[in-house]
């Protein structure tokens, strides 16, 4: 938007150019992001669930050390990730993969890089237990810590009023998923452009949009979320691609692209070797570093690598710059939220601090 | 001085109310918490500073690992602490002392347990560098990471418009301090009670209030913040007490109360052995576990220990229960805040992830 303002002097020319360019690009079905994500029949979104889920999302106290929450690695104050190559959980441990953004994750038809969770409800339980994330051995332990706080118990009851046993791990995951379905970033410059505001993207961005389509990026990064066809939101029906597809190039070694088996790690199937869920490109300018292993530091390099390893094309510097400009136009509007208040157990802590490595320090 | 001027009228009224309501306890000058904290002449609070300081307070990206923010250990979504005995910073390292609450810290005339920082500005710089907290070797490094983001640079300029060099470590600390001065929790049941609302405290709580005074707690935990006389808010003029004062009891060994030298660690003076800043009791029900080393898990036990090691009194179960009930009445109203949006450097991360311990995990 700022860019287009800068070009206001030549607006007529730009608009004319956009029309010509969009002429070609119009052959492709560019789609805007919905303002809301649908909720599945098995977990209709309600205000009470969202409110509970938001608190659980931000509550670090039920991790093994009391220091890691969902938001630690999926920081919704920023790009919905953590800016690290791979995330760091309890005890300073790191996992093997880059934290995907939680923004617009409601529009993924599977979750995790390898698609091993069929929905957000299933996904939400993973990191609580992972020894390199929140590190709680049993989900039930995390639940018990949380629901030792009376106000949390009340919230579970309010969020799941028809359940005989509202206080459960599954309901905690349902609440977090319901909250995550509210994390939508509509009205990016791109969205405004495809809705008719031809000044929303700069001339370079429109050129990048066309290049993005022409070189073949849209063959995978399609649809309103740039993560492939929406599959009618059928749960678990993921859209996967092999990465890298072309291996005879400098990048495969340089960025260690073959080390991870991808979806095969989850399924054990040879056919799934190096297959990954196609990730969204929404807000991609905010989620560096890039790829499943976070080895590529900048967006221009990520575009260059993708051109080569997926399309076997040596993109020119100009093509890369144009595509990057376009991708920056996919940064949406982030909803304003209140900071949650986390309830407490008066006079006691729910944190189980466990053994720690002592050192000298402040306070 | 500003505080005493601003609230003199209210204090007289409060005292009158307390006299009527609390009988014997009225002999003591019970004071309500001010709604606002004064700002020092060297750092007047402005909206632009508060906004910048809030973002810096929540931004984990400039820590050594990109995972620890001020809010990690001083969680203002809850009691302004972390619920741990001692805090855990980068690489899972822990320090020797319990994280004091940041709520109402504006009313401390010194900062840290040993009072070694004379104000919030000075305090704010400590944890960024501490190897067991945010672990950045040089404050300048943290500043450079932050201000590699154009939007942050603009915010520094807006917050410090008269400075020739607005982008500085000291201004970052000033902004964080300005934000922290907004973290006030007025209108606790206790405050409403001393302002005249007889129903704000239960019968047991009023009894506990009286006991709290009679057994001698108020000799140190006095004033509107229960952290001693306000010293006219003279910076650096702390109010210290020896802890433990009485050592011939079971608790000293049980809770390892002599291991820490207290203020002597900061000053090197023998006279400061085991001296500590008297901490606030505001929201004390939310800040378990207790004491400088966080070794005491519950509020009733903390009250019992304080009675013995500071006053040489064996409080009865009833006295303890009454005082605890009263202390729960010091939980105030927490201001509703918006979740900050942290600015980004498009297409790059400001996190320097460094070396990490790899492990298996999710994503």
- CA nearest to B126 within chain A: A362
A188-221, pLDDT tens digit by residue? Answer: 999 999 999 999 999 999 999 999 999 999 999 9
Specify the pLDDT at position A235. Answer: 76
Which member of A76, A90, A344 has the closest CB to residue B92?
A: A90
CA gap A158, B258 in Å, rounded: 47
CA gap B107, B238 in Å, rounded: 11
Per-residue pLDDT 10s for chain B (363 aa) are: 333 333 333 344 444 434 444 444 457 999 999 999 999 999 999 999 999 999 999 999 999 999 999 999 999 999 999 999 999 999 989 999 999 999 999 999 899 999 999 999 999 999 998 888 999 989 999 999 999 999 999 999 999 999 999 999 999 999 999 999 999 999 999 999 999 999 999 999 999 999 999 999 999 999 999 999 876 667 778 899 999 999 999 999 999 999 999 999 999 999 999 999 999 999 999 999 999 999 999 999 999 999 999 999 999 999 999 999 999 999 999 999 999 999 999 999 999 876 544 444 455
Query: Which of B347, B354, B356, B360 would best serve as a mutation to test chain A binding (most A beta carbons within 10 A)?
Result: B347
DSSP E strand stretches across chain B: 93-94, 240-242, 275-277, 357-358
Q: Nearest-CA distance from B285 to chain A in Å?
A: 4
DSSP symbols for B207-254 = HHHHHHHHTTGGGTS-TTTTSS--GGG-TT---EEESSS--SSHHHHH
- CA nearest to A358 within chain B: B94
Specify the pLDDT at position A295. Answer: 97
Q: Nearest-CA distance from A76 to chain B in Å?
A: 8
Judged by CB atoms closer than 8 Å, whether chains meet at B361 and A298 is answered as no
Return all residues near B97 (Cβ < 8 A) that are at least 6 apart. Answer: A361, A362, A363, B86, B87, B113, B260, B292, B293, B294
Q: Nearest-CA distance from B362 to chain A in Å?
A: 6
Specify the pLDDT at position A14. Answer: 39
Tell me the backbone φ, ψ of residue B205, rounded to 5 degrees: -65, -40
- CA nearest to A363 within chain B: B112
- Active-site choice (B133, B137, B333, B352): B133
Ranges of residues in chain A whose predicted pLDDT is under 50? 1-25, 356-361
Chains A–B, number of C-beta pairs less than 8 Å apart: 243
- CA nearest to B71 within chain A: A67
Q: Is the separation of the CB atoms in A53 and A74 below 8 Å?
A: no
- Is B51 known to be catalytic? no
Return all residues near B209 (Cβ < 8 A) that are at least 6 apart. Answer: B22, B25, B30, B190, B193, B201, B326, B329
Q: Report pTM.
A: 0.91
User: Which residues in chain A are closer than 8 Å to B347, comparing Cβ atoms?
Assistant: 285, 288, 298-300, 324, 327-328
Specify the pLDDT at position B363. Answer: 58
SS (H, E, C) A80-114: CECCCCCCECHHHEECCCCCCCCCCHHHCCCECCC
Q: Nearest-CA distance from B154 to chain A in Å?
A: 15
Catalytic positions of A: 133
Which member of B58, B75, B76 has the closest CB to residue A77?
A: B58
Judged by CB atoms closer than 8 Å, whether chains meet at A132 and B96 is answered as no
Judged by CB atoms closer than 8 Å, whether chains meet at A65 and B86 is answered as no
Tell me the backbone φ, ψ of residue A115, rounded to 5 degrees: 70, 20
Grouping H, G, I as helix, E, B as strand and the rest as coil, residue A290 is strand
Specify the pLDDT at position A236. Answer: 79
């Amino acid at each position: 938007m700022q860019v287009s303002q800068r070009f206001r002097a030549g607006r007529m020319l730009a608009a004319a150019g956009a029309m010509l360019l969009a002429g070609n690009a119009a052959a492709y079905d560019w789609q805007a992001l919905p303002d809301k994500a649908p909720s599945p029949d098995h977990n209709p979104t309600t205000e009470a669930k969202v409110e509970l889920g938001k608190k659980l999302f931000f509550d670090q106290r039920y991790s093994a050390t009391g220091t890691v929450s969902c938001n630690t690695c999926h920081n919704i104050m920023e790009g919905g990730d953590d800016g690290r190559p791979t995330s760091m959980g309890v005890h300073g441990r790191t996992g093997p993969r880059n934290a995907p953004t939680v923004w617009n994750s409601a529009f993924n038809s599977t979750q995790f890089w390898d698609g091993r969770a069929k929905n957000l409800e299933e996904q939400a339980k993973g990191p609580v237990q992972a020894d390199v994330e929140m590190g709680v051995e049993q989900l039930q332990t995390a639940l018990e810590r949380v629901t030792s706080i009376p106000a949390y118990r009340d919230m579970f009851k309010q969020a799941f009023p028809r359940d005989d046993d509202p206080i459960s791990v599954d309901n905690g995951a349902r609440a977090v998923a319901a909250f995550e379905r509210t994390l939508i970033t509509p009205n990016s410059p791109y969205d405004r452009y495809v809705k008719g505001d031809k000044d929303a993207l700069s001339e370079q961005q429109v050129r990048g949009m066309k290049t993005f389509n022409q070189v073949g990026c849209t063959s995978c990064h399609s649809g309103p979320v740039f993560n492939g066809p929406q599959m009618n939101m059928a749960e678990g029906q993921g859209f996967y691609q092999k990465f890298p597809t072309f291996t005879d190039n400098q990048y495969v070694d340089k960025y260690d692209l073959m080390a991870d088996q991808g979806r095969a790690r989850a399924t054990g199937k040879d056919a799934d070797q190096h297959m990954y869920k196609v990730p969204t490109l929404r807000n991609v300018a905010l989620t560096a570093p890039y790829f499943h292993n976070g080895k590529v530091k900048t967006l221009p390099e990520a575009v260059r690598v993708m051109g080569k390893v997926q399309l076997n094309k040596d993109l020119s510097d100009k093509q890369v710059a144009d595509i990057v400009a376009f991708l920056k136009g996919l940064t949406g509007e982030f909803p304003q939220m209140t900071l949650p208040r986390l309830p407490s157990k008066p006079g006691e802590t729910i944190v189980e601090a466990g053994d720690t490595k002592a050192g000298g320090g402040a306070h």
